Amino acid sequence: MEEIKISNISKYFEKEILSDISLEIEKNKITGILGPSGSGKTTLLRIISGLEIPDKGTIFINNKCVCSEKIFVEPEKRNIGFVFQDLGLWPHMNAEEHLDFVLDAKGITNSEQKEKEITKILKLVNLDKYIKSYPRQLSGGEKQRLAIARVLAQDSKILLLDEPFSNLDPVLKKELKKELVGLQKKMKLTIVYITHNPSEIFDIADKIVILKEGRILQEGKPKEFLKKPKNDFVRKFLS
């Protein structure tokens, strides 16, 4: 069952960035969107989240239209969590304050309830020891965990991850990927993970989509790509 249905999405800036993209994102699955720089990956995520408006096409989330010629649902009403490539952490807030801010925005004002929720979420991402730490005091991996914790505090069941582990060393990347899969299964999350690096996503994704110059070249299960890449570009890109 799809959670996100994208139909005929196109987007132009000075040139065409996305061309007639149609894609179904399955519920409670990890979908990896791969492609070189400039292929339209980030623009597609921003359109799904509502941060960009497409020039044409429709998007349905849980069978509800959030984007069409006549309908546009604001980002904050889509209940989607977005972890940006630069993470966007607030330097003046510690880990607890990051989550407290999000819970306030959700209308949770009871201090006891907030404390319980913050402790639970920070434990989920192995950051409970760093509750009073500021971003400048955290390592690269810990910052990634805080960015994910902030999204979980929104109670979003859909997570959009833009090159989340691109700047981390291979050992830490492997560790965080394992944690991400554990979170996804435990919390029944739908994750859309974009990267230019096939090795980051191939071993954890349920579905892979390859973009080039704003077009989908191939989509399917990871093993289908290894058995039968659609063309030379796909074959070379994956190698």
Distances (CA, A) of 88 to 92, 96, 147, 154, 178: 12, 16, 8, 15, 23
In one-letter notation, the amino acid at residue 179 is E
Tally of CB atoms within 10 A around 107: 6
Give the integer Cα–Cα distance in Å for 193 and 132: 29
Question: For the chain, which residues make up each domain, given as ranges?
Answer: 1-79+160-170+192-239
Beta strands in the chain (DSSP E): 2-12, 16-26, 30-34, 56-61, 64-67, 80-83, 158-162, 190-195, 207-212, 215-220
Give the integer Cα–Cα distance in Å for 165 and 188: 21
Question: Residue 193, SS3?
Answer: strand
One pLDDT digit (tens) per residue for the chain, 239 residues: 568 999 999 999 888 999 999 999 999 999 999 999 999 999 999 999 999 999 999 999 999 999 999 999 999 899 899 988 888 899 999 999 999 999 988 888 888 888 999 999 999 898 999 999 999 999 988 998 999 999 899 888 999 999 888 778 888 888 889 989 999 999 999 999 999 999 889 999 999 999 999 999 999 999 988 888 888 999 888 87
- The CATH classification number of 1-79+160-170+192-239 equals 3.40.50.300
